[in-house]
Amino acid sequence: MPERRDFSRDHRWLSLNTATVRKQGDLAAIIEACARLGIRAIDPWRDQVATIGLSRAAKLTRDAGLELSGYCRGGMFAADAAHRAEMRDDNRRAVDEAKALNAPCLVLVAGGLPQYSRPGSAPSKDIIAVRRQVEDALADLLDYASAAEMPLALEPLHPCYAADRACINTIAQALDICDRLDPGRTGRIGIALDVYHTWWDPQLLPQIARAGKQRLLAFHVCDWMVPTTDILNDRGMMGDGVIDIPSIRAAVEAEGFAGYAEIEIFSNTWWGRPMQEVLKTCIARHRSVV
Amino acid sequence: MPERRDFSRDHRWLSLNTATVRKQGDLAAIIEACARLGIRAIDPWRDQVATIGLSRAAKLTRDAGLELSGYCRGGMFAADAAHRAEMRDDNRRAVDEAKALNAPCLVLVAGGLPQYSRPGSAPSKDIIAVRRQVEDALADLLDYASAAEMPLALEPLHPCYAADRACINTIAQALDICDRLDPGRTGRIGIALDVYHTWWDPQLLPQIARAGKQRLLAFHVCDWMVPTTDILNDRGMMGDGVIDIPSIRAAVEAEGFAGYAEIEIFSNTWWGRPMQEVLKTCIARHRSVV
């Protein structure tokens, strides 16, 4: 395994994706808890920001001295003609919000088939055509985001979400799109690499090497549970599942990635525990098994 | 879409994977029901054969005039040293049984990490090493199967099963293995292509073309439900989900595949309905949406 940063002594490189404790409190409460525990960065979700208001979220984050490791999320690009303007405007607002919050990138989830991506859209089973539409919409958003100097981090999702959440399902597929839209590797677009979505991929290591530092905009961790009892909300705390997280982090850092390891856990189990307990467990596992 | 065979007039190209109705009756009852409904082929499972006995299964199949479209299944190759001989012997028996039943191929599911593939094996998170072990074990079995003239059909499974069922998860990965073990494309090894496991793959169509007739040993159909409420046992009846089955069948047949469209549905819903109703629904859907 290549060298990787030593996380065992502190948690300075831990970022909390705020969905991890979204049922235990609002964004203000999460920010306060993070500050108290010495967590230095967060990646908030749009709905959490909207609930307390964008300016208040920006002020609380700033006052607490928190950085952002990303902003979740734009995308859901697949839409029928009647929903396309709404989709475009929604994504532009996401860029503006990311900018207001001083995020380093806007995380993008591509969306699956149009009937799930933008409810009310005419249904389709043509995933190949949907992927072309997604790329066109992404190209359009990239123009807007570039003008705003907001990098876009396309996140390939696990193939089990291909129908309803994201038709971009492998790192290679995401990088192919990045290469077509930004052949110069300018930093305007790259990927968010989540171990949950990519650990199974036979092309994981070569594609991380292909991505390189310019395309690795975010690194997310959690774990894959066996059995997985809920296809969406049974992600594991790092160390409780089967993913060899240290090896993947080593590969990412071998390319020069030096940012946060962002913890993002959607879990009915962990949402049922007190925020303080979840965050302390995150810190302990960050030091021992990430 | 390329031309495909006309399935609308009859169900001569329907094969029933007998797991589809495994809770409604034993293999003898399934064979009788298939014969009564004019189903011409089945793909039985080892446990179902074992329950009624190999010679009786062979006789009943023969007497009913049924062909096999495959035999399910060998594999589960990942094992620690203490379980390797058991794994090898088990797989050789599977080849012998397939031969006794006059199956055209033995379907192989690779197995996931050793602790799940062969329970009792020492646990591992090193999926890369496990994949190497799987290929070594497969190479060994291929020698045995070739001597018995039994083709092996490696089935890539959906990435959601990478940990516990199969660490071979894409068509490209399976074909890479086939090419290494059988560069001459002799027909001794190929793949079983199941729409459930592969529909999401951005490389689906090019890899079907790469496989060609020599590597396409079996074609399985069912559907992907949204939402999927159980990661193992919520497969859909064809037409009830999001998979564009006709397009995939067209691509497979464009390569010269002219065998059965085998229906394999693991579903708590369909296991809860009478066998006759399930089989009649299979026939109707085979004619209308496959």
pLDDT of A51-67, one tens digit each? 999 999 999 999 999 99
Q: Count of CB atoms within 10 A of residue B198's CB?
A: 25
* pLDDT per residue as tens digits for the range A65-105: 999 999 999 999 999 999 999 999 999 999 999 999 999 99
Q: How far apart are CA B144 and CA B151, in angstroms?
A: 10
User: Are B158 and A162 in contact (CB < 8 Å)?
Assistant: no
User: Are B159 and A116 in contact (CB < 8 Å)?
Assistant: no
Residues of chain A found within 8 Å of residue B117, distances taken between Cβ atoms: none
Q: Report yes or no: B129 at the A interface, CB cutoff 8 Å.
A: no
Q: b/e string for A160-177 if b means 16 or more Cβ within 10 A?
A: bbbbbbbbbbbbbbbbeb
Helix/strand number for chain B, H first, E second: 12, 9
User: Are A163 and B242 in contact (CB < 8 Å)?
Assistant: yes
Q: What are phi and psi of A34, to 5 degrees?
A: -65, -45
Helix (H) or strand (E) holding A189: strand A189-194
Q: What are phi and psi of B126, to 5 degrees?
A: -90, 80
Rounded mean pLDDT of B70-80? 97
CB within 8 Å of B184: residues ≥ 6 apart: none
Structure tokens at A199: 């650990």
Q: Report yes or no: B65 at the A interface, CB cutoff 8 Å.
A: no
Strand B67-68 versus strand B106-109 pairing type: unpaired
Q: Report yes or no: A169 at the B interface, CB cutoff 8 Å.
A: yes
User: Total domain count for chain A?
Assistant: 1
Q: How far apart are CA A89 and CA A76, in angstroms?
A: 12
Q: How far apart are CA B119 and CA B204, in angstroms?
A: 32
Residues of chain A found within 8 Å of residue B241, distances taken between Cβ atoms: 163
Band of residue B2 on the pLDDT scale cut at 50, 70, 90:
confident
Q: How far apart are CA A126 and CA A121, in angstroms?
A: 14
A124, A200, A249: best to mutate for the B interface, most B CBs within 10 A = A200
State percent of chain A over pLDDT 70. 100
Give a yes or no: residue B133 inside a domain: yes
Q: What are phi and psi of A217, to 5 degrees?
A: -95, -20
Rounded mean pLDDT of B119-130? 98
Q: Report yes or no: A243 at the B interface, CB cutoff 8 Å.
A: yes
Give a yes or no: residue B1 inside a domain: no
Helix (H) or strand (E) holding A217: strand A216-221
CB within 8 Å of A85: residues ≥ 6 apart: none
Question: Computed over its alpha carbons, how large is the radius of gyration of chain B?
Answer: 18
Spatial CA neighbour of B108 closest among B76, B68, B140, B86? B76
User: Are B159 and A162 in contact (CB < 8 Å)?
Assistant: no
Give me the total of CB pairs closer than 8 Å, taking one residue from chain A and one from chain B: 80
**What's the pLDDT at A60?**
98
**What's the pLDDT at A283?**
98
Give a yes or no: residue A55 inside a domain: yes
Q: Has residue B290 got a pLDDT over 80?
A: yes
**What's the pLDDT at A2?**
74
Q: Has residue A31 got a pLDDT over 80?
A: yes
Q: Count of CB atoms within 10 A of residue B209's CB?
A: 12
**What's the pLDDT at A13?**
98
Residues of chain A found within 8 Å of residue B172, distances taken between Cβ atoms: 202
Residues of chain A found within 8 Å of residue B158, distances taken between Cβ atoms: 159-160
Q: How far apart are CA B138 and CA A163, in angstroms?
A: 32
Q: What are phi and psi of B25, to 5 degrees?
A: 175, 165
Give a yes or no: residue B5 inside a domain: no
Give a yes or no: residue B193 inside a domain: yes
* pLDDT per residue as tens digits for the range B190-242: 999 999 999 999 999 999 999 999 999 999 999 999 999 999 999 999 999 99
Question: Computed over its alpha carbons, how large is the radius of gyration of chain A?
Answer: 18
Band of residue A3 on the pLDDT scale cut at 50, 70, 90:
confident
> What is the chain B residue with the closest CA to A167?
B200
Q: What is the pTM of this model?
A: 0.97
* CATH, residue B128: 3.20.20.150
Instruction: Work out the minimum CA distance from B222 to partner chain A, whole angstroms.
Output: 14
CB within 8 Å of B176: residues ≥ 6 apart: none
Mean pLDDT for chain B overall: 98
Q: What are phi and psi of A145, to 5 degrees?
A: -65, -35
User: Are A231 and B160 in contact (CB < 8 Å)?
Assistant: yes
A261: left (phi over 0), alpha (psi -120 to 50) or beta: beta
Place of tokens 């055209």: B104
State percent of chain B over pLDDT 90. 99
User: Are A231 and B226 in contact (CB < 8 Å)?
Assistant: no
Q: Report yes or no: B200 at the A interface, CB cutoff 8 Å.
A: yes
Quick one: DSSP state of residue A203?
Answer: T
Domain limits at B22?
14-289
**What's the pLDDT at B3?**
84
Band of residue A163 on the pLDDT scale cut at 50, 70, 90:
very high
Q: Is there a contact between B263 and B15 (Cβ–Cβ < 8 Å)? A: yes
A160, A173, A233: best to mutate for the B interface, most B CBs within 10 A = A160
Q: How far apart are CA A208 and CA B35, in angstroms?
A: 53
Q: Report yes or no: B81 at the A interface, CB cutoff 8 Å.
A: no
Residues, chain A: 290
Give a yes or no: residue B9 inside a domain: no
Instruction: Work out the minimum CA distance from A55 to partner chain B, whole angstroms.
Output: 36
User: Are B227 and A226 in contact (CB < 8 Å)?
Assistant: no
Give a yes or no: residue B2 inside a domain: no
Could you tell me if the ipTM is greater than 0.95?
yes
B1, B115, B127: best to mutate for the A interface, most A CBs within 10 A = B127
Residues of chain A found within 8 Å of residue B125, distances taken between Cβ atoms: 242-244
Residues, chain B: 290
Mean pLDDT for chain A overall: 98
Instruction: Work out the minimum CA distance from B102 to partner chain A, whole angstroms.
Output: 34
Q: How far apart are CA B133 and CA A158, in angstroms?
A: 25
> What is the chain A residue with the closest CA to B123?
A242
Helix (H) or strand (E) holding A16: strand A14-17
* pLDDT per residue as tens digits for the range B142-155: 999 999 999 999 99
- The DSSP bridge partners found for residue A262 are A15, A220
